[in-house]
Chain A
Amino acid sequence: MVQLSSTLLYVAFVLYLVATFFFGGAIRPKKREGVNRWATLGIFVTIVGFLAQLGYFITRWIAAGHAPVSNLFEFTTFFGMMIVGAFIVIYFIYKTSLLGLFALPIAILVIAYASMFPREISPLIPALQSDWLHIHVITAAVGEAILAISFAAALIYLIRVVDQSKASQRTFWLEFVLFFLISTLGFVIVTTSFRVAGYEATFEWIDKNGQQSEMVYHMPALVGPHEGVLKTEGRMEPFVDMPAIINARKLNTVIWSLFAGGVLYGLLRLFLRKRIAAALQPLVKNVNLDVVDEISYRSVAIGFPIFTLGALIFAMIWAQIAWTRFWGWDPKEVWALITWLFYAAFLHLRLSKGWHGERSAWLAVIGFAIIMFNLVVVNLVIAGLHSYAAS
């Protein structure tokens, strides 16, 4: 069952890749009236991929006895699956195949990112042994996934409207967003490469309480731990040691990812001889801006209530049961609140101040950045400061 589950996830991943190419093929203007055959193929493969991933989800649920949303790998994978699910729904409302070309790669990146974390099926610690785990996490992930579609649509909008004929703040920030997406790929490539190579280097170091302990790196240490001493022979010595309060290994991973992202980005620029967004612009030139703007906004309109329900209301109910209080100003809670406040501001600006089009698109991009911050940074960096993960 476990094996079957992993295989299904793998199948889904490959199918999403294939579907992306079909959606790419659908860009060429239709020769005949009627449905675009590439797009039909694309959505068909997407649905099959989604069903395969649903199969992964169900078989893993059966094998574990609880819904596979209990650790970072499972949650993030599920988030990716829901992005695909949300895309399928939106596709059937708006029939915009171009959205697939952007939404699917985002989902693919999210799933690839997820698989860099421990993938074993883990039993549940006492704090997670509750039906609210399923209710809260699934609802929150669905909400965030729909909001992610708003980002995909916003990205299309921006690539289409941002003037690429001269460098500006807008071109810079658009490249910045694309660079981050590419760095995620960089993270996946670097992690996988060193994992395949079996790289391991052990350091002895002094933690912030002055205790000596060990830290194992799975990537060559560019930055070492506080007063770190390399114990494994033949491994690279770090260029610089970090102070004790910084988790040097995570910072090292971040540096490697950005470095790999930078190299990939640089190569792409060299190869394309223009900004990435400028190279993508021809792909989106036929898109109806009003429709893309509407997709972006409607995704927020649909996703916001679901997000509120899952990430705040259900979260509060469960926190009251498991942690004795419905709200405790835990970083994860605060960042859910920040996300909520941000999209509340987004809706007010849009509905009452008339922020449509490009402004609204930039806001959708920032909103997604906040969601990603909560998923990545709060889980891996901030939460490390207290007992969230251990409770």
Chain B
Amino acid sequence: MEQVKCECGHVNPIGTVLCEACGKPLEEVPMLLDMRYEGSARRSQTYNQTIVDKIWNFFSSVKVGVWLIVITLVASAIGTIYPQQMYIPPTVSPAEYYEEQYGWLGKWYYALGFHDLYSSWWYMLLIALIGVSLVICSLDRVVPLYRALNNQRVTRNEQFLQRQRLFSRSQVKDYENALPRVVDRLTKRGYRIREENGNILAEKGRFSRWGPYVNHIGLIVFLIGAMLRFVPGMYVDESMWIREGEIKEIPGTNGKYFLENKTFIFEVYEKEKEKEAFQAAIDRVGSGMMAKNYQTDVVLYERVGSIVAGEEPKLKEVKSFSIRVNEPLKHDHYALYQVDFKLNELKSMSFHLTDKQTDKSFGTITVDLIQPEKEYDLGNGYKVQLLSYFPDFYFDENGNPNTRSKVPNNPAFVFKMFAPDRPKGEVSFTAIRQTIEPFGDNKYKMAFAGADTRHVSALTVRRDFTLWILGIGGTIFMIGLIQGMYWNHRRVWIQRINEDVLIAAHTNKNWFGLKKELERIFNDTPFVMPIDQLDKRS
């Protein structure tokens, strides 16, 4: 690597603007020095030959970084004009939905892919480019900055001092005796003092200069964490509907865990039961109209032994828990969340086998709507067979009975009723408020006798091994941000050149604070308070 030797004897890397040791300008510089990176040699400002140099220089530019931020910002805003695909009803086709709801604007919104903007390739690319910019920007600056601050000498070049924003030159009587008082005050204010031939460098808060780089590291860690989400196995996101009384394998746990829904509780705010302060609010929306609690009382089981196909799993109880919104059940990195529910789903229906003429009943059957029996024996020669069962009944396009789903929303049955006087049996099609006798007049009918219902709870199953990485990234980011924002790097140079005393001061920000501090330090001393050379010029 080529090098530049300063007259003070220090050898600087090529591209250095201000000597790392004494601060003497090695190039043409403005009257007031640009101290942003201590005039150190940044790669991006020094080399521009190869492709690598050009890419490096492109991404190391703050201008490019800011443009990337602004483009991402505008793109993100566009994504909020209409709801994203994940927030529209899952049953409708997005192509139709956007046009139907939002007209031709909606049509274009969909056509341009804005309905799924945040997972589009170009949005991801923007985030990735910001990541690259973060790394290169930081490396381009932090290494030379570290060198410069590490190599700085107490005694500075005269030019360096008089080109600081805060500067004074005066003749001080009795310098040797006056100095200790100032040094003492500086020390009390937290400055670390270095002395060389009667010259002083007082410095504090240098660590705040590293704040930006620390917070950029935090952001990179965070982005890596977010990327790991795409690695299989890092991330489980499943959902399950579970009925009261049911024991079900928890999806995403590979058959390891099972869950029993003991009961689902739904509560609302009722006027009489709530305290005085809430009455007005409840009046406005209506008593019983505002949800108070969604809760599933569950028991978590773990499978004992290995999985054998076709065999009932052996289960061991792990714990009982009440899952509520904001209170997920956590176990073994898994978390189960309350997300949805359905009240009063049909559980079973009962029917009397009845003589249509006399209304006499010959026994009652109860059909479990999830796992119905094939045959119900009522004794004395009476029995009922269940020929077909449609849990969610409708007539399909051919006019045949069919089922939409396995959920008993609208159950219908084809019963075959046997009696001593009807040994061959009579067929009856029974649905809610509807009976069809396909083979003519029957003597018997299945009379509806009642139904049992239960609640169903929807839970989301999550396991996310990226969370701790995101947590670390976020923490590092905050530390870096606070480090950079809430502390300042301040330096005060006091130097005697011939008969003159030169005082210069620098801070990376909050000049107002530095000036007030200097006033306190130089107050009642023979030293002349440094003057803001920016004021003088304007």
A binds B: yes
In Å, the complex CA distance between A130 and B293 comes to 12
Cβ contacts B273-299/A at 8 Å (1 or 0 each): 011111011101000001111100000
Q: Distance (Å) between the CB of B410 and the closest chain A CB? A: 23
State whether A245 and B80 are in contact (beta carbons under 8 Å apart), knowing that A127-B325, A302-B485, A304-B481 are contacts in the complex. no
* B324 and A94 contact, CB distance less than 8 A: no
- The answer to whether A338 touches B76, judged by C-beta atoms less than 8 angstroms apart, is yes
Which residue in A129, A335, A345 is a CB contact (below 8 Å) of B325? Answer: A129
Residues of chain B within 8 A of A276, CB atoms compared: none
Q: Beta-carbon contacts of B318-331 to A below 8 Å, as 1s and 0s?
A: 00000011101000
Within 8 A of A (CB), among B21-66: 36, 62-63, 65-66
Q: Which residues of B contact A328 (CB under 8 A)?
A: 86
A337 to B325, CA, bound (A): 25
Contacts of B63 in A (CB 8 A): 353
For the complex, what is the distance from the CA of A129 to the CA of B292, rounded to whole Å?
9
Query: A304 and B62: CB pair below 8 A?
Result: no
Whether B280 lies near A324 (C-beta < 8 A) is no
User: Assuming the A-B contacts A322-B326, A349-B66, are A123 and B281 also in contact, with contact meaning beta carbons closer than 8 angstroms in the complex?
Assistant: yes
* B510 and A127 contact, CB distance less than 8 A: no
A341 touches B478 (CB 8 A): no
Task: Please indicate which of the listed interface residues B282, B294, B474 has the most CB atoms of chain A within 10 Å of its own CB.
Answer: B474
CB closest residue in chain A, given B285:
A122
Whether the Cβ atoms of A337 and B510 lie closer than 8 Å is no
Give the chain B neighbours of A324 by CB distance below 8 A.
328, 335, 337, 339, 460, 462
Binds B, one of A100-108, A215-223, A305-313: A305-313
8 Å CB contact of B293 from A1, A118, A122, A126: A126
A-contact bits for B80-106, CB 8 A (1 contact / 0 none):
111110110000000000000111000
A121 located at the interface, meaning its Cβ lies under 8 Å from any Cβ of chain B in the complex: yes
Q: Is A348 a contact partner of B65 (Cβ separation < 8 A)?
A: yes
Given A305-B482, A313-B478, A352-B62, A385–B83 Cβ distance below 8 Å? yes
Residues in B with CB closer than 8 Å to A316 are: 470, 474
* Residue A342 is within 8 A (CB to CB) of chain B in the complex: yes
Asked if B467 and A320 sit within 8 Å, CB to CB, the answer is yes
A326-B118 contact, Cβ under 8 Å, with A120-B280, A337-B76, A345-B70: no
B326–A94 contact, CB under 8 A? no
> In the complex, are the beta carbons of A334 and B80 less than 8 A apart?
yes
Q: Are A94 and B512 in contact (CB under 8 A)?
A: yes
| Whole-angstrom distance between the Cβ of A384 and the nearest chain B Cβ | 10
| Residue B342 interfacial (CB < 8 Å) | no
Least distance between B301 CB and chain A CB atoms (Å): 22
Chain A residue, CB-CB nearest to B512: A294
A residues 319-368 touching B (CB-CB < 8 Å): 320-322, 324-326, 328-331, 334-335, 337-338, 341-342, 344-345, 348-349, 351-353
Assess whether B73 is interfacial by the CB under 8 Å rule: yes
Task: Please state if A341 and B69 are interface contacts (CB–CB under 8 Å).
Answer: yes
Once A123-B269, A321-B328, A337-B76 are accepted as A-B contacts, the answer to whether A291 and B512 lie under 8 Å apart by CB is yes
B395 in the interface (beta carbon within 8 A): no
How close is B532's CB to chain A, nearest CB, in angstroms? 8
Of residues 80 to 106 in A, which have CB atoms within 8 Å of B's CB atoms?
A: 94
Q: How far is the CA of A270 from the CA of B337 in the complex (A)?
A: 61
- With both beta carbons as reference points, the residue of chain B lying nearest to A385 in the complex is identified as B83
Q: Would A130 and B326 be within 8 Å (CB), given that A305-B478, A329-B118, A338-B77 are in contact?
A: yes
Contact of A64 with B by CB under 8 A: yes
B199 contacts the other chain (CB 8 A):
no
> Does B478 lie within 8 Å of A329, measured CB to CB?
no
Partner of A129, one of B66, B72, B326, B460: B326
Q: How far is the CA of A126 from the CA of B86 in the complex (A)?
A: 22
Q: In the complex, A348→B274 CA distance in Å?
A: 51
Contact B77 A334 (CB under 8 A): yes
- Are the C-beta atoms of A345 and B281 separated by less than 8 Å? no
Tell me if B73 and A345 are in contact (CB < 8 A): yes
Q: Given A123-B281, A245-B102, A345-B66, is A329 in contact with B326 using a C-beta cutoff of 8 Å?
A: no
**How many chain A residues touch the partner (CB < 8 A)?**
61
B362 lies within 8 A of chain A by Cβ: no
Answer whether residue B79 sits at the interface, using C-beta atoms and an 8 A cutoff: yes
B394 within 8 A of A: no
CB-CB under 8 A for A122 and B326, given A305-B486, A338-B73: no
> Which chain B positions have C-beta within 8 A of A385?
82-83, 87
Please state if B294 and A2 are interface contacts (CB–CB under 8 Å).
no
Give the chain B neighbours of A64 by CB distance below 8 A: 277-278
Please tell me if A125 contacts chain B, counting CB pairs below 8 Å: yes
Tell me which residues from 448 to 485 in chain B have a Cβ below 8 Å from any Cβ of chain A: 460, 462, 467, 470, 474, 477-478, 481-482, 485
Q: Contact between B76 and A334 (Cβ–Cβ < 8 Å)?
A: yes
A294 touches B65 (CB 8 A): no
- The answer to whether B76 touches A341 (Cβ under 8 A) is yes
Cβ-based interface call for B509 (8 A): yes
Are the CB atoms of A378 and B478 closer together than 8 Å?
no
- Nearest-CB residue, chain A, relative to B37: A352
User: Which single residue of chain A is at the shortest CB-CB distance from B485?
Assistant: A301
Which residues B301-334 have CB closer than 8 A to chain A? 324-326, 328
Is A298's beta carbon under 8 Å from chain B?
yes
**A63 within 8 Å of B (CB atoms):** yes
> In this assembly, does B522 line the interface, its C-beta being within 8 Å of a C-beta of chain A?
no
Q: Is A208 an interface residue (CB 8 A)?
A: yes
A386 contacts partner chain B, Cβ-Cβ < 8 Å: yes
Please tell me if A376 contacts chain B, counting CB pairs below 8 Å. Answer: no
In the complex, B511 has a CB within 8 A of chain A:
yes
Q: Report the separation of the CA atoms of residues A155 and B77 in the bound assembly, to the nearest whole angstrom.
A: 25
- Asked if A236 lies at the interface with its beta carbon under 8 angstroms from chain B, I say no
Chain A residues, CB < 8 A from B324: 126, 129
**Do B277 and A121 touch (CB < 8 A)?**
yes
Which of A126, A298, A309, A386 makes the CB contact (< 8 A) with B83? A386
Closest approach, in angstroms, between the C-beta of A198 and any C-beta of chain B? 17
What string of 1s and 0s marks CB contacts (under 8 Å) between B339-380 and chain A? 100000000000000000000000000000000000000000
Give the docked Cα–Cα distance between A101 and B30 (Å): 39
B479 (CB) vs chain A CBs: closest residue: A305
A267 within 8 A of partner (CB): no
A118 to B28, CA, bound (A): 65
Cross-chain contact B510 with A298 (CB below 8 angstroms): yes
CB pair B73 A341 closer than 8 Å: yes
A382 within 8 A of B: yes
Give B292 Cβ to nearest chain A Cβ, in Å.
7
Note all chain B residues with C-beta closer than 8 A to A125. Answer: 290-292
Q: Is the CB of A126 within 8 A of B326?
A: yes
Say which residue of B281, B325, B467 sits within 8 Å of A120 (CB atoms).
B281
Q: With CB as the reference atom, state the residue of chain B lying closest to A322.
A: B326
Contacts of A65 in B (CB 8 A): 275
Is B84 in contact with A126, judged by CB distance below 8 angstroms?
no
Q: How far is the CA of A46 from the CA of B139 in the complex (A)?
A: 47
Inter-chain contacts of A344 with B (CB < 8 A)? 69
Q: A335 with B80: in contact, given A125-B291, A308-B481 (CB under 8 Å)?
A: yes
Q: A-B pairs with the 9 shortest C-beta distances?
A: A120-B281, A122-B281, A126-B325, A352-B62, A120-B280, A331-B80, A130-B326, A324-B337, A341-B73
Chain A residues with CB under 8 Å of chain B are 1-2, 63-65, 94, 118, 120-123, 125-127, 129-130, 132, 208, 243, 245, 290-291, 294, 297-298, 301-302, 304-305, 308-309, 313, 316, 320-322, 324-326, 328-331, 334-335, 337-338, 341-342, 344-345, 348-349, 351-353, 378, 382, 385-387
**Extra inter-chain contacts (8) besides given A297-B509, A313-B478, A385-B83, CB under 8 Å:** A118-B281, A125-B292, A245-B102, A245-B103, A325-B462, A334-B76, A334-B80, A348-B66
Give chain B's interface residues, CB within 8 Å of chain A.
36, 62-63, 65-66, 69-70, 72-73, 76-77, 79-84, 86-87, 101-103, 118, 212, 269, 274-278, 280-282, 284, 290-294, 324-326, 328, 335, 337, 339, 460, 462, 467, 470, 474, 477-478, 481-482, 485-486, 509-512, 534-535
* 17 CB-based A-B contacts, threshold 8 Å: A120-B278, A129-B324, A290-B535, A294-B512, A301-B509, A308-B477, A320-B467, A321-B328, A324-B337, A329-B86, A334-B76, A335-B77, A337-B76, A345-B66, A349-B62, A352-B36, A378-B80
